[in-house]
Chain A
Amino acid sequence: MNVIRLKHAPSVVGYASVVGKKEHEGPLGADFDLHDDAGTFGMDTWEKSESEMQRLALNTALAKAKLSPDAVKAIFAGDLLNQCTGSAYGLLSFSKPFFGLYGACSTFAEGTMLASLMIGAGYFDVCAAVSSSHFCSAERQFRFPLEYGGQRAPTAQWTATAAGAFVLSAEGAGPYITEVLPGTIVDKGIRDANNMGAAMAPAAVDTMKKYFEDTGHSPDDFDMILTGDLGLEGHSIAVEFMKASGCDIQNVYNDCGLLLYGAGTQDVHCGGSGCGCSASVVCGHIMRRFQKGELHNVLYIATGALMSPDSLKQGGTIPGIAHLVRISSERI
C-alpha cells in the first residue's frame, strides 16, 4: 500500500497566492490575492523579489486564517534557486522551525504532504507549506540572460512568477488533506530540457496508476485530477498513457501549467512551470472553487523535473517525480 490515508486529516485554514504580471493577466488573474506588475515586489534583485513573494504569501495566508505567525509550529518550503535561498530569506522573519525542500515543481505538494503528515501524526498542530518560483531568477539560473535574443522550442514551458502558501491545522472546517502518496523518482531517459512535460509525464502516470490500484477508486470519483505542470505536451502524454493502462482520466483531468496562462495568447508555448505554478493555481483558483462549493474532491499531483544545468551539460537524463495530495471538502 503506497497511499497514506490521514486518520486525523488536517484542514486548510488559510491559503494565499502571489503572482507577477503575466500570471495576473492570465485566465485565473482574479483568483490571486496579490500581484505586482513590475515583478520586483519592491526589491532590487530578482532573487530578493522571489523571497518577498514567499513572505507575502505566508503573511496573507495567516491573515486569512486569522492566525498570528506565532501559531505556526513549522514551515515546509522550497523554491528553484540554489540552496533554496528563496525560501530561507523569505521566511527568515517568521523565526519558526523550517524544513527546506527541493522537489522542483513538485515542491508545493511535497511541502503540503509533509506538513499534513506531521500534523496527522500529532507532532505539530499548525504548519505552513510555501513554495515559489520567479521567471527572472529561474531564467538566470537555468537558461539564458533575460535580454538574450533566442527562440524557445515549441515544447518549452514558461517558469511562473508565482508563490503559494497553505496554513494547515489539526482543527478546522476544511477543505482537508485526506490522503497523500509520496512519488518515486522515475527516469525514462529524456535529456531535452526544453521538453519537461515529456520528462515528467511518466512520473505522473506512475503515481496515478499506483493511487487507483491501491484505493480502487476510478477517475470519475473525483471532481478534478490536477497535475502540477506537465503543460500541453505532458498533459496529452499522461492522458494517452493512462488510457492505454485502462484508466481514462480525460473527463476530469486538467493541468496547472495549462490553467495558469491563456492558451495561444500569452506566448508561453506549452504552458507554465516552476514551484510557484501549481502552488498559485491550487492556493488561488482551486481553493476558491472549494470555497464556492464547486469542488469537493480533488487529486492534486504535482510533478517535478529533478535535474540541474550541470547534470544536463554532462549528458545526464531528467528524472521526474510526482507527489499526490488528495484535497476533500469532508474528512473521509
Chain B
Amino acid sequence: MNTDSKSYQKYAKKHAPKSPIFRDCVCAFLVGGLICTFAEGLYHLYLFWKLPEDTVKILVPCTLIFLAAFFTGIGIFDDIARFAGAGTLVPITGFANAMASPAIDDKSEGLVMGVGAKMFTIAGPVIVYGVLTSVLYGVVYWIWGLFL
C-alpha cells in the first residue's frame, strides 16, 4: 500500500462515508417548505387582522426571528436543525439561531467581551459581505441607470 501524502489523502477521501445527500435534501425541502408555508400563513393572518401591508412585511420576519431565537434559548432549535439541515439554516431562522446561540454560550465571558463581541462570530461574515454586496449592487444599478 502506497503511503505517500497525496495517495493517502485520496485514499482517506474515498474511504470516508459520504453524507446522505438525498435524505438531507428531502428533509431540508420538507422543513424549509414548512417554515415558508408557516410564514405565508402568518402574512395572511396579519393582513386578516387589518394590519397595513408594509407593517406585515416587517412583522412576518420579526415573528420568525423571535421564534427561532426562542427555540434556540429553550434548546430545541439544534435538535430540529440536526434533522432539517439547510431547511432551518437558509430561512431567516438560521440567521437568528447564529446570533442567539453564541450569545447564550458566551455570557460566561461577560456582556461586553462575551455576548457583545462573540455573538457575531458566525453571523458577522453574513452581515459584512451582505452589506458589501448590496453596495456593489447599488453602484451597478446606478451606472446602469446612467445609460437608460
The chain A residues found within 8 Å of chain B, CB to CB, are 44-47, 140, 144-155, 187-190, 195, 198, 202, 233, 236-237, 240-241, 244-245
Contact = CB atoms under 8 A, between A and B. Distances in A.
B136 interface: no
Given A188-B5, A189-B5, A146 B101 contact: yes
Interface in B39-91: 72-73, 75, 77-78, 80-82, 84-85, 88-89
A148 B88 contact: no
Contacts of B101: 144-149
B6 A241 contact: no
B13 to A, nearest CB: 8
B34 interface: no
Contacts of B17: 154-155, 233
Given A44-B108, A147-B72, A155-B17, A189 B9 contact: yes
B134 interface: no
B88 A153 contact: no
Contacts of A44: 108
Interface in B1-51: 1, 3, 5-6, 8-9, 12, 15-20, 24
A147 B78 contact: yes
Nearest to B88: A149
Interface string B85-124: 1001100001001101110111010000000000000100
A240 B14 CA distance: 14
Nearest to B102: A145
Contacts of B9: 188-190
Which 3 A-B residue pairings sit nearest by Cβ, starting from the closest? A149-B81, A244-B1, A145-B101
Contacts of A195: 12, 16
Contact of A147 (B12, B19, B88, B105): B105
A149 B3 contact: no
Interface of B: 1, 3, 5-6, 8-9, 12, 15-20, 24, 72-73, 75, 77-78, 80-82, 84-85, 88-89, 94, 97-98, 100-102, 104-106, 108, 122
B12 A237 contact: yes
Given A44-B108, A146-B101, A151 B1 contact: no
8 contacts: A140-B106, A145-B104, A146-B105, A147-B78, A147-B101, A188-B9, A190-B9, A241-B1
Nearest to B105: A145
Contacts of A140: 105-106
A149 B12 contact: no
B82 A202 contact: no
A198 B12 contact: yes
Given A149-B77, A154-B18, A198-B15, 11 more contacts: A44-B108, A149-B78, A149-B80, A149-B82, A151-B81, A151-B82, A154-B16, A154-B20, A187-B5, A190-B8, A202-B3
A140 B84 CA distance: 22
B93 to A, nearest CB: 8
Nearest to A48: B108
A47 B108 CA distance: 10
A151 B105 contact: no
A145 to B, nearest CB: 4
B15 A149 contact: no
A33 B62 CA distance: 49
A145 B81 CA distance: 14
Contacts of A145: 101-102, 104-106, 122
Contacts of A153: 19
A231 B84 CA distance: 26
Given A144-B122, A188-B5, A241-B3, A149 B97 contact: yes
B12 A190 contact: yes
A188 B8 contact: yes
A198 B105 contact: no
Given A233-B16, A244-B1, A151 B24 contact: yes
Contacts of B106: 140, 145
B120 to A, nearest CB: 12
A148 B1 contact: no
Contacts of A150: 78, 81-82, 89
B104 A147 contact: yes
